[in-house]
Amino acid sequence: MKAFLLLLTPLVIFAKVHYAKVEPYESVTLKSAVSALVMDVDLEAEGSVVDQKRVIYLDDYLDKVNLKTSKENLLILHETLKRKESYFHRIDKLKTTSAAQKDDAFYSFAAAKTQYLDMQYKIAQLEDSIEKKSIVLKNMYLYEIMVRKGDYVTPGSPLAKVVDASRAKLVLFLEPEELDKIEQKTVYLNGEKTVYKVDKVWSVADEKFISSYRAEIYIPAPEGSFSELLKVEIK
C-alpha cells in the first residue's frame, strides 16, 4: 500500500508547466457611430495610456449650431405649452363653454405638448451626436489611430485600436485532466505561489489545439510593458 501511494504522489505534486504571455485584459477597435469629416487626431498619443483626453475629433459644427437653436426654441415651446395647458384647464371647468371649444383647447394643448417633447428628443439626439464626434479615452492604452485629418468616416468605420491597460490576463491551454477541480487549484507563476485562480475556462476544445481547452487567469497590469513570458503551473 505504501509503495502504491508513493507512485501516486508525483501525479499530485507535479503539474504540467505552461508558458503564457502577459496580455492586456481587453483589446478593442473603436468604430464611428456617425458620418462626419475628421477634423483632428492626436497622433502623439499613440503608444501611451490616455486618460480623459480627446484623441479624435469629428466635425460637429452644424450639430452645435442646431443644438443652440433647438434649445432656444425649446424655451419658447415651454412657454407656449404652459399657456395652452392653463387655458385648457380653465375652459374645461366652465359650464358655459361648448364641447367643441373644450375639444379645440384640448387638441391645441396636446399639439403643443407633442412639439415640446419632439424638441426635447431632437436636443437629446444632437447632444448624443456631438458626444460621439469627440473620441475621449478614459485610462486606455492607445495602440493605433486608424484615421487621419481630412478623412470622411461613416457609421462602422474603424477609428482606433485601444487596449484596457487597467489589468492583464494570461492565456493558456489546458489538457482535460488538468481541469479536474480546477477551481480549487493554486496558480504558481515563475515557481512562486500566488493568490490567483483560473478565472475562465472554455467548455469547448480549442479549434487550433484540438485536445486542449482555453483558460484565462486575470492578474494586475504590469508596472512595465506587457508581453512578458511567465511560467505557469496549476496545482
pLDDT in tens, 90-143: 998 888 889 999 999 999 999 999 999 999 999 999 999 999 999 999 988 899
- Hey, which residues does 164 pair with through a beta bridge? 26
Instruction: Assess whether pLDDT exceeds 90 at residue 70.
Output: yes
pLDDT in tens, 157-191: 999 999 987 889 999 999 888 888 888 899 999 99
Tell me how far CA of residue 131 lies from CA of 57, 63, 125, 136, 170, in angstroms. 10, 10, 10, 9, 35
Q: From start to end of 86-212, where are the E strands?
A: 134-137, 140-145, 152-153, 158-174, 187-189, 192-193, 200-201
What does the pLDDT average to over 192-198? 92
Give the range with max mean pLDDT: 13-22, 50-59, 219-228. 50-59
Work out the mean pLDDT of the chain and round it to a whole number: 89
Contacts of 114 (CB under 8 A, 6+ apart): none
Beta strand 158-174 with 17-31 is antiparallel
Contacts of 138 (CB under 8 A, 6+ apart): 51, 52
Site of grid cell 512562486: 192
Q: What pTM, to 2 d.p., does this model score?
A: 0.72
CA 99 to chain centre: 55
Instruction: Assess whether pLDDT exceeds 90 at residue 153.
Output: yes
Instruction: Assess whether pLDDT exceeds 50 at residue 1.
Output: no
